[in-house]
């Protein structure tokens, strides 16, 4: 039986590549986005259904799921890929921007999972793949709100991995490292919501932003993340986390295989904080 997967955030980048990858592997794909682009289905018109879905709108989520079931007969897996971020000083980050990040990255994911679970259960079980981030393991400066949202995804995914196993539904968490193709400054955020940098933070902000630009790790390739998502969706074991990228692997090592002091020292060094402290003396 050909399996069907619904993927959020397919308008560009990782979501679009993931939709095409699953279609290439013989899956039926419900490729969703807020503003549907029918061209995504051109390469595999029999396997890809492009559907409107706003993770903040439960009615649109249910409509996309029902459209996929009507087209392909059922739902076997979901990939929660939609997400936004923002580089900012927390003190100056607008409350509306903080809420928007959480509404998309956390509550949007919650909406999709709650809508999909009854359909997966009727299918006899299935898989939920949540796309997290390396900052779900190790928080980064200038990414406080994004880090908080992805650490919420970390906790949600682990808890659900136990809870939903009772319904024969597996939960997977893919944790990509930094991808150079990602616009980390205002991905998905309106320009009007960009946080101004307070003058008291300006030297620190400029230094840390340059440290992000001069990131000490090779970029995580989008295709590697796509392949990890596919592996997560098809893995029959009890594995939860799939880390992708040299930075995430190092952050995970520091977090889980060293002492708290060693972790903090390593993160200070890798994020540029050690250099900042030396300059500020």
What are the catalytic residues? 146
How far are the Cα atoms of 10, 100, 113, 155, 234 from residue 171, in angstroms, in the given order? 20, 25, 10, 12, 11
Phi-psi region of 177 (alpha: psi -120 to 50; beta: other; left: phi over 0): beta
For 241, what's the count of Cα atoms within 13 Å in the CB-facing half-sphere?
19
Within 123-168, residue ranges assigned H as helices are 144-163
Of the candidates 37, 1, 7, the residue with the CA atom closest to the CA atom of residue 22:
7
Tokens of 26: 């013989």
Strand pairing report for 77-80 and 4-7: parallel
For 83, what's the count of Cα atoms within 13 Å in the CB-facing half-sphere?
26
Measured between alpha carbons, how far is 223 from 74 in angstroms, rounded to an integer?
27
Phi-psi region of 26 (alpha: psi -120 to 50; beta: other; left: phi over 0): left
Measured between alpha carbons, how far is 8 from 91 in angstroms, rounded to an integer?
31
Does residue 131 contact residue 83 with C-beta atoms inside 8 Å? yes
């Amino acid at each position: 039986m050909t399996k069907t997967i619904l993927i959020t955030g397919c308008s560009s980048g990782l979501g679009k590549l993931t939709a095409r990858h699953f279609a290439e592997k013989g899956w039926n794909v419900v490729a969703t986005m807020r503003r549907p682009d029918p061209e995504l289905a051109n390469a595999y018109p029999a396997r890809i259904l492009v559907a409107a879905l706003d993770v903040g709108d439960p009615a649109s989520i249910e409509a996309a799921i029902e459209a996929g079931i009507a087209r392909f007969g059922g739902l076997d897996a979901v990939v929660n890929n939609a997400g936004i971020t923002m580089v900012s000083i927390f003190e100056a980050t607008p409350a509306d921007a903080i809420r928007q990040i959480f509404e998309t990255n956390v509550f949007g994911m919650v909406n999709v999972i709650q809508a999909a679970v009854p359909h997966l259960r009727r299918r006899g079980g299935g898989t939920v793949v949540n796309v997290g981030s390396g900052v779900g393991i190790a928080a980064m400066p200038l990414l406080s709100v994004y880090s908080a949202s992805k650490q919420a995804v970390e906790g949600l995914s682990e808890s659900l991995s136990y809870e939903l196993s009772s319904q024969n539904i597996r939960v997977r968490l893919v944790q990509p490292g930094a991808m150079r193709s990602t616009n980390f400054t205002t991905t998905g955020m309106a320009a009007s919501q960009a946080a101004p940098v307070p003058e008291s933070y300006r030297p620190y902000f400029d230094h840390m932003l340059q440290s992000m630009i001069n990131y000490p790790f090779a970029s995580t390739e989008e295709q590697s993340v796509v392949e990890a998502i596919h592996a997560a969706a098809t893995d029959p074991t009890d594995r939860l986390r799939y880390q992708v990228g040299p930075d995430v692997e190092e952050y995970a090592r520091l977090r889980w295989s060293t002492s708290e002091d060693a972790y903090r020292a390593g993160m200070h060094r890798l994020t540029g904080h050690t250099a900042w402290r030396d300059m500020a003396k």
